[in-house]
Amino acid sequence: MGALAEILFGGLFQGSLYAMMAVGLALVWTTIGVFNFSHGVFMMLGAYFAWQLVEVGLHPAAAFPLAVLATAGVGWLLQAAVVRPLIGRANLVLVVVITTLAAGSLIENGVLEIWGPRSKQLPPLVDGNTMIGSIGVSLHQIAIIVVTPLILGALWMFLTRTRLGLALRAVAQNEDASQLVGLNVTALYGLAFAIAAGLACLAGIFMGGYRFMSPVMGADPLLKALIVVVFGGISSISGPIFAAYLIGFFEAACSYYFGLYWTPALLFAVLILTLMVRPEGIFSSRGRGLA
């Protein structure tokens, strides 16, 4: 009973973080058709923004939304600087991998320069600890488990129920036709990047509340998010969300039964198997398209 509870809780918690990260990657892929390798850096930068705002005396309830907005702004700018000018190139996907990696590396070192290498920590979303059955958990973790589906649900509603969300989905499916109904494709690209960066910032805030922050804190979540989107399929945003939780549970079960040491190896084994059996991802159909 204790094992199951621990795996369930661990899976839900890790899955929430992965989902938050992976959805942003998927959003950018489906709308623009590029992989954003600075996504992990958005997460780190968001956490540092939040830390700085809390440090100058803002209440977390004000600091966190401000940090999300600021990171979204950085996402928009980064898109305008290193993605938009390249659109239309034949080798766009590869070039953008390089430019976003480069930009990410610059930001990472900039953060190191500004905030220094010393680890920092954010206040948790909710203070305190509690017991679920026999396992002790922090309220911060529970808050993450509760808040993540709400935010992803809101994103889902935005994409499926609003005209702007409809426009984003349209751009993801057919760029020429989108232009011919008068959509501002460049602005929608910027919006996709900004939303992705905002979500990454939230993931950073979640993570900074229970682990120490460092300028390289985004690297591992980016890798996990990549695994999630490859596993779940990148042609939609619901695929990665389900995959994120599945991988969360898988990791929790692996670390419980085989230990933390074996978990990454097993994870990659599953990934390779997925790529061999269903290269388009387990929840996916071929082709791009949001929702």
Partner 1 sequence: MTPILTVEGITAGYGRVTVLNDMSLEAGRHGNVGFFGPNGHGKTTLLRVVSGLLRPKAGRIVFDGEDITGKSARAIVGAGLIHVPQGNRIFPDLTIADCMSLGAYSARARPHEAENREKVVALFPKIAERWRQRVRTLSGGERQMVSIGTALMSHPRLLILDEPTLGLAPRIKDELCASVLDISKGGVPLIVVEQDIEFLLELCRQLYLINHGTVATEIKPGESIAHAEIMSMYFGQHQDH
CB of 232 to partner 1, least distance (A): 17
> Looking at beta carbons only, is 234 or 254 nearer to partner 1?
234
CA dihedral of 186, 188, 193, 196, whole degrees rounded to 10:
-170
Q: What is the pattern of x (binds partner 1, CB under 8 A) and - over residues 144-183?
A: -------------------x--xx-xx--xx-xxxxxxxx
Site for partner 1 in 181-220 (CB under 8 A): 181-184
Q: Count the residues of the shown chain that bind partner 1, applying the rule CB under 8 A.
A: 19
CB of 180 to partner 1, least distance (A): 5
> Looking at beta carbons only, is 41 or 167 nearer to partner 1?
167
Residue 286 sits in the site that holds partner 1 (CB under 8 A): no
Residue 202 C-alpha from the chain's centroid: 9
Inter-CA distances, 266 with 145, 257, 270, 271, 281, Å: 24, 12, 6, 9, 18
CB of 192 to partner 1, least distance (A): 16
Find out whether 122 and 50 touch, Cβ atoms under 8 Å. yes
> Looking at beta carbons only, is 164 or 272 nearer to partner 1?
164
Q: Residue 132 phi/psi, 5° resolution?
A: -110, 110
> Looking at beta carbons only, is 16 or 236 nearer to partner 1?
236
Where does the chain have alpha helices with state H? 2-32, 39-55, 60-82, 92-115, 139-161, 163-173, 175-180, 185-208, 219-232, 238-257, 263-277
Chain residues binding partner 1 by CB under 8 A are: 163, 166-167, 169-170, 173-174, 176-184, 287, 289, 291
